A and B are shown apart, each in its own frame.
Chain A
Amino acid sequence: MVNIVIRTEDLNIYYGKRKILEDVNVDIYENSISAVIGPSGTGKSSFLRSLNRLNDLIPGARVTGKVYYRGRNIYEDDVNVYLLRTRIGMVFQRPTIFPMSIYENVAFGLRINNVKDEDLIYKRVKEALIKAALWDEVKDRLDDGAYNLSTGQQQRLCLARTLAIEPDVLLLDEPTSYLDPKSTKKIEDVLLKLKERYTIVIVTHSLNQAKRIADYVLVFMPDEDNVGRLIEYGPSTQVLQNPVDPKTREYVEGLIG
């Protein structure tokens, strides 16, 4: 029996009057990596942001339908979105580094969430950096500016920052698209380890990345009106090797996208 962590029901996303994603019904399972694939502009990132209600902050964006996180619809009025976002963490496409030290970047989320105990902060920062496979590279220069890190290291720093507030789910929006293969592999290795304790949803442009790390694959594809739809989802071996939908087949064979 696998637990469902996130379930969407008839999820629609609009920007202004334009619908960009229609009727997504999907389950995200605990301790697994679900990869969201599909051509650009099919609402993959918007889908991801709808899972932690970050779309709320984007002017014009509107979400209808239901998103259940551990059984609770997160779009109900009395949901504490700030608390929700500490449970469902996010890493963006480009490293988002604050002009602070390495240590303070990782501690940022803790400080924002009013953790005052410096010993606890140090412990969490260290653990997070170890989990993100960055500790050995930065332990002697935690007070250095985070800008001096390479892009790959910066992205792992962002991952560590999200891990430091101990979320339950990790959302990653094409986290390796600006990274070289070596840095990409490091992130992928980290994610494969992290899925033992976290539930991970990753948007990726790379089919190979989905093949390498995903347990489940969600395929988004535009319909005739250019509205994104979830056309197929299931275990990655099935979706990537034996797709049911002809469009998915064309996509995984590299004919579209």
Chain B
Amino acid sequence: MHPEISLVLLTVLAGAGQGIFILLVALNSLFYGTGAVPSEYIVAAGAISLLFQVGGIITSTAHLGNPHRGWRAMLMIKNSWLSREVVTLSLSVGITALYLLLYYSGATGTVLFVTGMVGIAANLGFYLSCSMVYASVTFIREWSNAFTPLNFTLFGITSGFGVNLAIAHYTHVNTDILFGINSLTLALALVALIMKLLSYRFNATAYVSVNVKNAIGVNDPNIKLMDMGASYDHYNTKEYFYENAEKITRKTMFLVLTVAFLVPIILWTVAALKREMAYIPELTVIAAIAMIAGLIIERRFFFIQGNNVQNLYYANFRSTGVRNPLESRARKGTPVPMN
């Protein structure tokens, strides 16, 4: 699939923004009134969470043909995961803003706790619906599997916690709490790395039951595309196919694993092993930026890996997994790969 940068930014930024909110609510609920979590942290983390979420919404409108009608996307919550995504994201933004407002106006711990829990429910709803937008497309096997919702949720929460850690360093949060966040984020990042490796492995062997024989209805193992029915590339060959996929596959996988996971893991491990290192705020900022940047590359690659079965008609379909570098672009005389 063509990597749509607006959707990449939406899923990564909104996911991280909600991860920030989840930890913010958890810390404020656990340490409310103790003074261990200063108000600067709540305000800064809340504002950055809002910024990430609103930034995601704004960039996502670039994907729409008619952004001024975007509100209509909330109408089919009963049927469409996309509709649920829009509703839960709007709810999350609203509740994050409300939480900050209540905190600022001096609401009681119970009110904040209840609001926070509703917000976390909306966040989890967003992770699920946002990932199911992709996981429910059964004709793209690389998307339609359990790794998609698990990874979207895990990566969103981990990156949010990572950003939180950096914010907490600059807002004088209690050092024990800092160490706790550091350890938790590190543990999540390790699980995320394992999940990413497992999903790469799954995608390398992913297959669908459809093949070109039943796509065009001819029982013959030798089928070649002679003419794709257009003078040049059109929507179907541009939207479902990424021209440079062969070239970037291995490099991108390496880049994702390094920038999104290994760099932050090393930095957080150093901080966890040597406690005084945890008080070097620059390290946590670098780790958070690396993880967000890495996840943007990861999400872009997630799109590129998506292999819609309609590519069978254009000889662009990969029979399994990572694209074979010898498999050239769909043009006249190109054999259609058999499944």
Q: Do A and B bind each other?
A: no
Which residue numbers of A lie inside 8 Å of B, CB to CB?
none
